[in-house]
Amino acid sequence: MKTIEDLDVAGKRVFVRADLNVPLSDGTITDDGRIRAVAPTIAKLVERGAKVVVASHLGRPKGAPDPQFSLAPVAGRLGEILGKPVAFATDTVGESAKATVAALADGEVTLLENLRFNAGETSKDDAERTAFAGQLAALADLYVGDGFGAVHRKHASVFDLPALLPHAVGDLIATEVGVLKRLTEDVARPYVVVLGGAKVSDKVGVIENLLQKADRILIGGGMAYTFLKAQGHEVGISLLQEDQIPTVQGYLAEAQERGVEFVLPTDVLVSTEFPDLKTKAPATFSVVAADAIPADQEGLDIGPKTRELFAAKLADAKTVFWNGPMGVFEHPDYADGTKAVAQALLDSDAFSVVGGGDSAAAVRILGFDETKFGHISTGGGASLEYLEGKQLPGLTALEG
Q: Catalytic residue at 199?
A: yes
* Shortest Å, Cβ 341 to ligand ADP: 12
**Alpha-helical runs (H) found in 259-335:** 304-315
Give, as ranges, the residues between 249 and 308 that touch ligand ADP (CB under 6 A): 299-300
Determine phi and psi for 275, rounding to 5 degrees: -70, 160
**Which of 362, 353, 352, 357 lies closest to 380 in space, CA to CA?**
357
Using the rule CB under 5 A, which residue among 342, 358, 361, 393 binds Mg ion? 358
Closest to ligand ADP by CB, 130 vs 226, is 226
- Which burial class, exposed, middle or buried, applies to 26 when counting CB atoms under 10 A from its CB (0-12, 13-18, 19+)? exposed
DSSP assignment letter at 124: S
Q: Name the catalytic one among 13, 34, 307, 339.
A: 34
Where does 264-318 show beta strands of DSSP type E?
267-271, 286-289, 298-302
* Shortest Å, Cβ 373 to ligand ADP: 14
**Alpha-helical runs (H) found in the chain:** 33-47, 72-82, 95-102, 119-122, 126-137, 171-182, 200-210, 223-230, 245-258, 304-315, 336-347, 357-365, 381-387, 393-396
Using the rule CB under 6 A, which residue among 120, 236, 356, 394 binds ligand ADP? 356
* Shortest Å, Cβ 350 to ligand ADP: 19
Residue 221 interaction partner, one of Mg ion, ligand ADP, none, beta carbon < 5-8 Å per kind: ligand ADP
Q: Which range touches ligand ADP (CB under 6 A), out of 53-61, 88-96, 244-252, 323-331?
A: 323-331
Using the rule CB under 5 A, which residue among 61, 221, 236, 357 binds Mg ion? 357
Give, as ranges, the residues between 193 and 222 that touch ligand ADP (CB under 6 A): 196-199, 221-222
Q: Catalytic residue at 357?
A: yes
DSSP assignment letter at 157: I
- Whether a cis peptide bond, with omega within 30° of 0, leads into 190 is yes
Query: Which residues carry out catalysis?
Result: 34, 199, 357, 381
Which chain residues interact with ligand ADP by CB under 6 A?
196-199, 221-222, 239, 299-300, 323-325, 327-328, 330, 356-359, 380
